């Protein structure tokens, strides 16, 4: 089958698109990658919540899907809103890579050993909240751009340290630049972090069947719990929110989640275990809502 993939043009996005293309070609499909520039790629000086949230990285790809110019969108799942445009669906979730955040410092200093007043670069409110809660003495400054740009600015001395997703660094072969990985108990990842997902039209049954061998059930169940939590709270990139689900030896899921304010003065954490991903996500969201999450969401 001939499949046309729509992808952003960044090095990481193209790595992901080529990875998916290679796997599809290995099972007999003919694949073409079409590069699409999104709003998030064009507007680099504004915060994401100003230019349309994380969906700003998907808008033009989704328009190409709906218009029939491409058959598949390849996305980092953490960038995908829980509500998709009408006529589209997530048709596969690939096995997740390392979901943790990575800490990179200019001198190899760890997060706990950074001197007071050190500047850490990130545009993520989730990371900012947790960093400030851990180390109120740090300065957290905005940092946008692709992986190369962010690491270059660190090396140039604009920041003492930066925080990036471990999965992206591994995919680009840059994990050797990581000072240390931040465990989920220290810095909770974004819902879906480390997972690649595929998006197609609802009526594209042949496309769905073609990509079905790439779907990884355990990853899909874990991220479903994380995204159920996100959907239940109605959060997005305008509020610090993290969630990570993992399988226990018993086969049930453990979901850790949090919501806070950007300065880390208030951080609400919740945890639960269960077999039903959607019920689990909703139960943790309900717990945090009962303890004041609505106020943090501005409701």
Closest CA to 199 of 104, 109, 108, 76: 76
Contacts of 187 (CB under 8 A, 6+ apart): 100, 101, 127, 130, 131, 134, 163, 242
Contacts of 70 (CB under 8 A, 6+ apart): 4, 5, 6, 34, 36, 61, 64
**Among all residues, which ones are annotated catalytic?**
79
**Distance of alpha carbon 40 from alpha carbon 36, whole angstroms:** 11
**Distance of alpha carbon 145 from alpha carbon 183, whole angstroms:** 24
Q: Which H helix or E strand runs over 88?
A: strand 88-93
Q: Which H helix or E strand runs over 272?
A: strand 267-274
């Amino acid at each position: 089958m001939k499949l046309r993939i729509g992808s952003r043009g960044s090095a990481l996005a193209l790595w992901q698109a080529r990875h998916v293309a290679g796997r599809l070609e290995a099972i007999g499909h003919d694949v073409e990658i079409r590069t699409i520039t999104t709003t998030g790629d064009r507007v680099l000086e504004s915060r994401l919540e100003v230019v349309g949230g994380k969906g700003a990285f998907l808008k033009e790809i989704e328009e190409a899907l709906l218009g029939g110019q491409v058959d598949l969108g390849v996305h980092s799942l953490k960038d995908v809103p829980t509500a998709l445009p009408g006529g589209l669906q997530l048709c596969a979730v690939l096995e997740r890579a390392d979901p943790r955040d990575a800490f990179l410092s200019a001198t190899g200093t760890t997060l706990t050993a950074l001197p007071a007043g050190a500047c850490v670069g990130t545009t993520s409110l989730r990371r900012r909240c947790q960093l400030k809660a851990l180390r109120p003495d740090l300065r957290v400054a905005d940092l946008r751009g692709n992986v190369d740009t962010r690491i270059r600015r660190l090396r140039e001395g604009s920041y003492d340290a930066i925080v990036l997703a471990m999965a992206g660094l591994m995919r680009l072969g840059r994990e050797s630049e990581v000072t240390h990985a931040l465990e989920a108990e220290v810095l909770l990842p974004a819902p879906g972090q480390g997972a690649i997902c595929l998006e197609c039209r609802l009526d594209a049954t042949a496309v769905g069947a073609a990509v079905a061998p790439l779907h990884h059930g355990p990853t899909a169940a874990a991220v479903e719990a994380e995204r159920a939590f996100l959907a239940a709270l109605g959060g997005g990139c305008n509020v610090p929110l993290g969630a990570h689900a993992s399988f226990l030896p018993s086969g049930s899921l453990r979901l850790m989640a949090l919501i806070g304010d950007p300065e880390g003065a208030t951080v609400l954490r919740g945890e639960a275990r269960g077999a039903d991903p959607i019920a689990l996500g909703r139960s943790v969201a309900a717990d945090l809502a009962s303890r004041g999450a609505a106020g943090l969401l501005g409701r």
